[in-house]
């Protein structure tokens, strides 16, 4: 009887283990930063979040203020016709594309550098929520991100890509720049 029980237990122990999904190996930080730089480039983040300098070939991103958002000390020129700007007939952009004006009001591109005036205090979860859910500062009870930020396009982005972008943004030089708060549309 004991031999039969031992035989049954032994045969149960020899059953193949259930299939488990292998855990992907962690990506080295240097590779993650490089991938993040690539993604930031192809996603056009510099188009709005980096101030421009004028050259003989037109405006180019200002490398000294990479991804630092709308310069806090830069004043906007008066709008040619505020009624049209806020009516929805037109959408206006500042010459360096760091400001958008439309029916939502006036919105300034955020500082994405690792300075405390940018993403310095953000967690990965804050960044993910901002990018995929459109929540300002990545906080549940905050306002929605305003146009022209295309956060809706990033709802399905993979966590590994968000981690790469976040790693890259945390690796760039910090730029102290307190971006102005958005302004509601002017009364018509």
In a domain, 91, yes or no: no
In a domain, 6, yes or no: no
Greatest distance between any 2 Cα atoms in the chain: 97
142 phi and psi angles, rounded to 5 deg: -95, 170
In a domain, 181, yes or no: no
Over residues 175-181, the mean pLDDT reads: 97
* Integer Cα distance of 167 and 171 in angstroms: 6
pLDDT of 89-103, one tens digit each? Answer: 888 999 899 999 999
In a domain, 185, yes or no: no
Read off the pLDDT band of 21 (50, 70, 90): low
In a domain, 94, yes or no: no
pLDDT value of residue 186: 76
pLDDT value of residue 58: 87
In a domain, 179, yes or no: no
Of residues 178 and 187, the one with the higher pLDDT is 178
In a domain, 126, yes or no: yes
pLDDT of 53-85, one tens digit each? Answer: 989 988 899 999 999 999 999 988 887 777 777
Full residue range of the structural domain in which residue 158 is found: 27-73+108-171
pLDDT of 30-44, one tens digit each? Answer: 899 999 999 999 999
pLDDT value of residue 24: 61
Identify whether the C-beta of residue 151 lies closer than 8 Å to the C-beta of residue 130.
yes
CB atoms within 10 A of CB 7: 10
CATH number at residue 57: 1.10.760.10
* Integer Cα distance of 52 and 103 in angstroms: 25
Count the domains in the chain: 1
């Amino acid at each position: 009887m004991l031999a039969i029980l031992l035989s049954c237990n032994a045969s149960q122990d020899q059953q193949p283990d259930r299939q488990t999904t292998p855990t992907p190996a962690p990506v080295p930080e240097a590779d993650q930063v490089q991938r993040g730089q690539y993604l930031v480039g192809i996603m056009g983040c510099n188009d709005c979040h980096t101030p421009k300098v004028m050259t003989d070939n037109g405006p180019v991103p200002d490398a000294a203020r990479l991804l630092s958002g709308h310069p806090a000390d830069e004043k906007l020129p008066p709008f040619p016709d505020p009624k049209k700007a806020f009516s929805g007939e037109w959408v206006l952009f500042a010459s360096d594309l760091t400001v958008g004006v439309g029916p939502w009001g006036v919105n300034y591109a955020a500082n994405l550098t690792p300075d405390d005036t940018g993403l310095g205090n953000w967690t990965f979860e804050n960044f993910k929520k901002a990018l995929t859910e459109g929540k300002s500062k990545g906080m549940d009870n905050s306002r929605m991100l305003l146009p022209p930020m295309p956060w809706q396009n990033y709802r399905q982005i993979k966590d590994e890509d968000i981690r790469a972008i976040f790693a890259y943004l945390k690796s760039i030089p910090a730029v102290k720049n307190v971006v102005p708060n958005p302004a509601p549309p002017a009364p018509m």
